[in-house]
Structure 1
Amino acid sequence: MEKSDPAVLLSYGLHLGHTKQKLHPKAKKYVYKIEKGIAIIDLFQSASFFDKAKEHLSELGKQGKIVLFVATKKSAKDTVRELCKENNIPYMTSKWVGGFLTNINEIFKNIKKMNQMREDRDSGVWDKLPKHERVALSKKLNRIASIYVGVEHLDKLPDALFIIDIKKESNALKEALQTGIETIAVVDTNVNPDDVNYPIPANDDAVLSVKYIAEQAVKAYMTNFTPQSEKVNEATASIADMKNEEKIEAETKKIKETPTKEKVIKKKKVQKK
């Protein structure tokens, strides 16, 4: 995987942190200097941490693990939503759904209900209902769909969260910590980076910075992505191959142990003597 270049990160504005007054004590280790009251992030550290995050995302993709991208802030949500839609990655860019990780069974009930409503609408079931009922159902469906857009096809908990701005997405981070789900996140100078498994020290406010980070993260995740279904098929094929090999080995052994006509004749001659 291509290494991050601090010069490239600089060109995208990843070095610009928050004001000195907003500097979190635990984020000081990532600050190169304070310039005109602004914390300047050490991009050599950013490059190193970004590479670790990308390598981990690549490994998650290779294993077919589910990564949920979370970005509801104005500067990030449009970019993240489009990237995720293009690559069939689950995302949450409107609003974090409370209990999404900690009360997942209830969440899945709502998603199942939403998908059933869509199926009923598309199959013509609603056409048999009075107009006022169809209108009411349509409003209800739109309301539910607006909440779960981006995650309507999830059928299990995500294996990891990719978060842009853990202060804005504090509820998502809190639930991830409670459930033990690992996090990869962009951490600016105003937050505690120690709460994140794979922190990326960088500017999480500028559109250009966020866009670059999100694009690189998605690229790393998708480059060697292998769906779980394919992994199951590979495992099944591997087991079948092993069984075939065992069968062939057993047949070979059986053939070797079966006395040939020549051996039988020779044995009879020895017995006659």
Structure 2
Amino acid sequence: MIIRHLALRQGRRALTSQPIRRWTRFFASQVDTVEASLQTTLGEIRKVEAFVNSRSDHPVSPVDADPSSTPDNDASPEENLSNLGSEITPHYQPHTLLTNPPSPSDITLELLLASGAHLGHNTSLWNPGNAKYIHGIRDGVHILSLETTAAHLRRACKIVTEVARRGGLILFVGTRAGQDRCVVKAAELAGGCHLFDRWTPGSITNGQQILGNCRMKVVDELDREIPDFEEQLLDRSVLKPDLVVCLNPLENYVLLHECGLNNIPTIGIIDTNADPTWVTYPIPANDDSLRCVQVIAGVLGRAGEAGNKMRLEAASQGEVTYQPAQGLKMPAEKKDGEGQASSGSAPVSELGFLQTLM
């Protein structure tokens, strides 16, 4: 009881010593301070709006405008907030490497760096033959020189373009997991053949026994098939590729060895742990990066596409850029319903060979 009465007595004294108008004046001063700061902030915002309106063609609406007068007042919150924030342009879209591969003119150091082409293997796994391709060491990993990679890749593109321009058969090989789609796409662009499964040993050195049942066809200079040559193709030996592009040489050493025995030029991606003497035209790059393999395969496919386009343009003007097939005889002429002789093939000097792998 004594403590409660003491608190009441001291409370009355506090109230009598601090009048209510003092507290009112205190809160009023606080409100004035907040209002002054808001006015200052609003003034700065208006200055920024005036500066932006003077520099841009689209004026910015004032801050204190009535929201009910704007035409977007009835729009949904998603529409009102759709224009907020910054626009970020995507730099890497994985599907574009397959749907729209880069061309040889798009080869840049930035593209190779983004694809991880410069990353090699651990220094303990390196092959001394790759010393001229290595730029340095980073955290125990060899770093390939991207300038050397770009130069060798451009050289390989010129080779693929020239082989395709002369009507050669190009074989794209990639047997690692995930390489099948880029291998097929490159073969489609270059008009060649593809292999994404295990290489059958002896397909080149003993091709007549392994690929003897594959169908061959005769085409003219515009890649149109000419019939009535099936009987003459039965006794001919199987075709061999004029150029082999191998995306993983370590797993296809037998293929590269057979190409060497038959003097078939080869192009391969050589990492720091591979022997560059296995292929004719090495491309020092990271063969473990799927993005790097897709970039290289797409560029080589585009190079083959450019070569085929040059060959067809020359053929449309009457110029044959490849050596025609030898040992073919024109099929017997057939008479049509009117008794006139007609031949279903072009002159032998304009015939070429294509092989369809079954």
Q: TM-score normalised to the size of structure 2?
A: 0.50
Give the counterpart of 2:119 among 9, 12, 16.
16
SS in 2 for 1:46: helix
Letter in structure 2 aligned against 1:35: R
Q: Could you say which structure has the higher helix fraction?
A: 1
Aligned to 1:173: 256
2:281 paired with 1:198: yes
What is the aligned partner in structure 2 of residue 142 from structure 1?
Answer: none
- Residues 68, 160 of structure 1: 8 Å contact kept: yes
Q: Distance in 1 between matches of 2:114 and 2:263?
A: 35
Residues 2-45 of structure 1: per-residue CA shift (max 9 Å, x gap): 27322221111110111111111101211111111111100011
Q: Secondary structure at the match of 2:143?
A: strand
1:54–1:217 contact (8 Å) kept in structure 2: yes
- Name the Cα RMSD after superposition: 2.5
> How many angstroms apart in 2 are the aligned matches of 1:183 and 1:12?
23
Question: Which residue is 1:83 aligned to?
Answer: 186
C-alpha separation between the residues in 1 aligned to 2:188 and 2:204?
21
CA deviation string 1:31-70 (max 9, x = no partner): 1111111111000111111111111111111111111001
Match of 1:234 in 2: 319
Alignment partner of 1:222 is 2:325: no
Secondary structure of the residue aligned to 1:79 is helix
- CA displacement at 1:78 relative to structure 2: 2.7
Change (3 A) 1:81 1:184: same
Q: 1:9 to 1:21 in 2, by over 3 A?
A: same
Q: Does 1:209 align with 2:312?
A: no
**1:66 and 2:184 correspond:** no
For 2:211, what is the secondary structure of its paired residue? helix
User: Structure 1 pair 235/15, CA: closer, same or farther in 2 (3 Å)?
Assistant: closer
How far off its partner does 1:217 sit? 0.5
* Identity value in percent: 29
Tell me the distance in 2 between the aligned counterparts of 1:83 and 1:50.
15
Residue 128 of structure 2 is matched in structure 1 by 25
Once the two structures are superposed, what CA deviation does each residue of 1:144-168 show, in whole Å capped at 9, x if it has no partner?
Answer: xxxxxxxxxx951110100012111
Letter of the aligned partner of 1:200 in structure 2?
A: I
Q: CA deviation at 1:235?
A: 4.3
Q: 1:8 to 1:235 in 2, by over 3 A?
A: closer
**What is the SS of the residue equivalent to 1:109?**
coil
Match of 2:153 in 1: 50
What is the alpha-carbon distance in structure 1 between the residues aligned to residue 203 and residue 263 of structure 2?
Answer: 13
Q: Note if 1:187 corresponds to 2:270.
A: yes
Give the conservation status (yes or no) of the 8 Å contact 1:165–1:188: no
- Give how far 1:107 is off: 2.4
Q: Which has the larger radius of gyration?
A: 2
User: SS of the counterpart of 1:44?
Assistant: helix
**AA at the equivalent of 2:245:** F
Preserved contact between residue 4 and residue 48 of structure 1 (Cα < 8 Å): no
Query: Runs of 5+ in structure 2 lacking a partner?
Result: 1-103, 216-236, 322-358
Q: Is structure 2 residue 200 aligned with structure 1 residue 97?
A: yes
Note the alpha carbon deviations across 1:50-105, whole angstroms, 9 max, x for none: 11111111111111111100110114223212432465420111110111111111
Q: Kindly indicate whether structure 1 or structure 2 has the higher relative contact order, using CA contacts under 8 Å at least 6 residues apart.
A: 1
Q: Which amino acid aligns with 2:168?
A: K
Q: Which residue identity is paired with 2:244?
A: L
Structure 2 counterpart of 1:205, one-letter code: D
- Once residues 186 and 240 of structure 2 are traced to their aligned partners in structure 1, the CA distance between those partners, rounded to angstroms, is 21
Q: Deviations over 1:124-162 (max 9, x none)?
A: xxxxxxxxxxxxxxxxxxxxxxxxxxxxxx951110100
TM-aligned CA distance change 1:102 to 1:4, over 3 Å:
same
Matching residue of 2:53: none
* Corresponding residue for residue 158 of structure 1: 241
Residue type of the partner of 2:319?
Answer: E
CA distance in 1, matches of 2:173, 2:112: 22
- The answer (yes or no) to whether the contact 1:161–1:184 under 8 Å persists in 2 is yes
